[in-house]
A and B are shown apart, each in its own frame.
Chain A
Amino acid sequence: MEKFTKIISKAIPLAIENVDTDQIIPARFLKATDKKGFGDNVFRDWRFDKNGNTNTAFSLNNSLYSGSILIAGDNFGCGSSREHAAWALVGYGFKVIVSSFFADIFKGNALNNGLLPLQVTPSFLAILMKTVQENPETKIEVDLENQTISLSDTNVYENFDIDPYKKTCMINGYDDIDYLLSKKEMIEAFEIQRK
């Protein structure tokens, strides 16, 4: 997993609530047996119509917007547990998803892939969304160490929460397998004691 410390980037607005993982990556693209290539099909059916024509009205296709931060509506990532959704967003180049609420399984999947699900208050989300929509050149700064998200070169910012264990993992690029393997003796003892 890649290490994550600080990111300064422009952002792409996605002012839709309840974005489910079927929209992030439709089921017909889940036939792969590796993690590669999902980025090409992220939000496939919103980016393209059935004949493959680009939907220019969709924000990811709007050349005004770019960057590795996605600003999304409430309850992002609901639905299926498919981790392909996180792989698709990472594959497309996103490093941070900002929303006022994340679905549980998606949140865990994102963190396990070095993608930061950053939860802000609804009012701060509204400010970010409006600012980026009105001025696509706006830069946003995400500082994981200090747990802050801010509009660059302004004093508009908010603190965000993250599980301290997960924060350490993100900053150092560790994953849960490393930790769980270090506990193997304890797990074996637990199994014996339960019998």
Chain B
Amino acid sequence: MSKTLFDKIWDQHVVDTIKEGPQVLYIDKHLIHEVTSPQAFNELKERSIPIFRPNQIVATADHNTPTINQHLPIKDKLSKNQLEQLSKNCFDNNITLYELGHKYNGIVHVMAPELGITQPGLTMVCGDSHTSTHGAFGAIAFGIGTSQVAQVFASQCLLLKKPKSLRVTVNGKLKKGVLPKDVILYIISKLGTNSGTGYFCEYAGNVFEDMSMEGRMTVCNMSIEMGARGGMIAPDETTFNYIKDRQFAPKGTDFDKKVAYWKTLPSDIDAVFDQEYIFDADDIGPMVTYGTNPGMGIKITETIPKENNSSFKKSLEYMNFEAGSSLIDQRINYVFIGSCTNSRIEDFRVAANFIKGKQKADNVTAWLVPGSKQVETQIIKEGLKEIFENAGFELRQPGCSACLAMNDDKIPKGEYCVSTSNRNFEGRQGQGSRTILASPLVAAATAVEGKIIDITKHLN
């Protein structure tokens, strides 16, 4: 029987099936961080259960870390305690940890791919919903809760019902200035925030085939914002070239053997999906969000739609926007380029390319936060840091930062922030903050102009 990419990997990882119930799914790689792991470690300790496969776990500190002066002791007592707990838990259980300051430290969904930990055909989990990012490599990767973190600690397995399959196909040629972020914001704006719930999504079509791994990660990252537990893209030469020679990638003939296996993974030509959507690349433009969920997005040239329901009205009221109005010329005082969605080297190249020779607007506070130490080093190496600094920008140190504002990087109440992150929920970037999601290009342009501009007019 023909199988999808998802079916092939899933079926190879099923240990057992409970009659009329879930399946026992084997997990190859477990990524952990400081926020969603401590209670799981406690749980095992209380029940005297050892960690079953510590060498299949990799830890990093990212959610709750400062993005300046990382060499100094952390001021916030609770944050400090949480990071110390992670270090202790990893040390006590022989788990590899890339703690703050380590050359491999970074946002979990940035550092694992760049180290070659993420590979096609694997099952990967993390106590973070944006684990869907790793699906860009043709892996089954998804976010889990802390109880499930404890389950994987105890057994390297999870009890799960196989999700349904969904395919989103985008063919055609993307217009100038349209980035992977715009593609996924467009898809979510068309499908809504819960259309993917209960599904695993595969992205297909030449638009994704032509994308870099960075771009594919941006797309898969936001699968959860349409409700899908994970997103995937078939592994191909782009994938293999990206993985080759990375720290934890297989080497030599092992690599060749793996590639031969990875080539068997793409969905069979006649594989049937439970749900299919098809879009035309030509219809996609640079996107912005205007509301308080990622599905509330429009092309930058469009106006906010008019809808007559109370949740929609509540959302616009929070954002202080009017239905029917445009976001162009909206004054913006905060810009954030970072997060597991858009903090990879390519994102900073896009931003630097636009910023080069220009100046940051005086009214704008801009935070440029690389996704990892390695990205930070690369930014310096390529001379991008100099471009940013000459334009009046400051490059910060890696971490999740203002995406969820657990640390001090908070947007003040009532202020708008054009952000390359993934969620525009109420207060997501600080109490009372108003988030407008966009690509790194739109964010960079906003920082230079001090307001949202029609980027499509500035590219030719």
Segment of A10-18, A120-128, A141-149 engaged in the interface with chain B: A10-18
Establish whether residues B16 and A104, one from each chain, have CB atoms under 8 Å apart when the complex forms: no
- Whether, in the assembled complex, A195 has its beta carbon less than 8 Å from a beta carbon of chain B, the answer is no
Establish whether residues B39 and A35, one from each chain, have CB atoms under 8 Å apart when the complex forms: yes
Establish whether residues A32 and B425, one from each chain, have CB atoms under 8 Å apart when the complex forms: no
Cβ–Cβ < 8 Å partners of A34 in chain B: 38-39, 42
Cβ–Cβ < 8 Å partners of B293 in chain A: 18, 20, 78
Establish whether residues B154 and A31, one from each chain, have CB atoms under 8 Å apart when the complex forms: no
Question: Secondary structure of the B side of the interface?
Answer: loop
Establish whether residues B425 and A101, one from each chain, have CB atoms under 8 Å apart when the complex forms: no
Contact of A22 among B26, B309, B428 (CB under 8 A): B428
- Whether, in the assembled complex, B144 has its beta carbon less than 8 Å from a beta carbon of chain A, the answer is yes
Establish whether residues A75 and B194, one from each chain, have CB atoms under 8 Å apart when the complex forms: yes
Q: Number of A residues contacting the other chain (C-beta, 8 Å)?
A: 55
Establish whether residues A45 and B426, one from each chain, have CB atoms under 8 Å apart when the complex forms: yes
* Known contacts A20-B293, A30-B406, A34-B42: A190-B18 contact under CB 8 Å: no
Contact of B193 among A32, A78, A177 (CB under 8 A): A78
Establish whether residues B145 and A163, one from each chain, have CB atoms under 8 Å apart when the complex forms: no
Establish whether residues A109 and B129, one from each chain, have CB atoms under 8 Å apart when the complex forms: no
Which 8 residue pairs are nearest across A and B when measured between Cβ atoms? A165-B21, A112-B147, A31-B78, A109-B145, A33-B38, A180-B155, A83-B145, A81-B143
Distance of A176 Cα from B152 Cα, bound (Å)? 10
- Name the residue in A33, A184, A191 with the highest tally of chain B Cβ atoms < 10 Å from its Cβ: A33
Distance of A184 Cα from B292 Cα, bound (Å)? 44
- Whether, in the assembled complex, B378 has its beta carbon less than 8 Å from a beta carbon of chain A, the answer is no
Establish whether residues A108 and B406, one from each chain, have CB atoms under 8 Å apart when the complex forms: no
* Known contacts A81-B143, A176-B147: A28-B406 contact under CB 8 Å: yes
Distance of A65 Cα from B121 Cα, bound (Å)? 50
- Whether, in the assembled complex, B432 has its beta carbon less than 8 Å from a beta carbon of chain A, the answer is yes
Distance of A88 Cα from B427 Cα, bound (Å)? 18
Contact of B159 among A20, A79, A176, A186 (CB under 8 A): A176
Establish whether residues B159 and A75, one from each chain, have CB atoms under 8 Å apart when the complex forms: no
Establish whether residues B428 and A81, one from each chain, have CB atoms under 8 Å apart when the complex forms: no
Establish whether residues B147 and A83, one from each chain, have CB atoms under 8 Å apart when the complex forms: yes
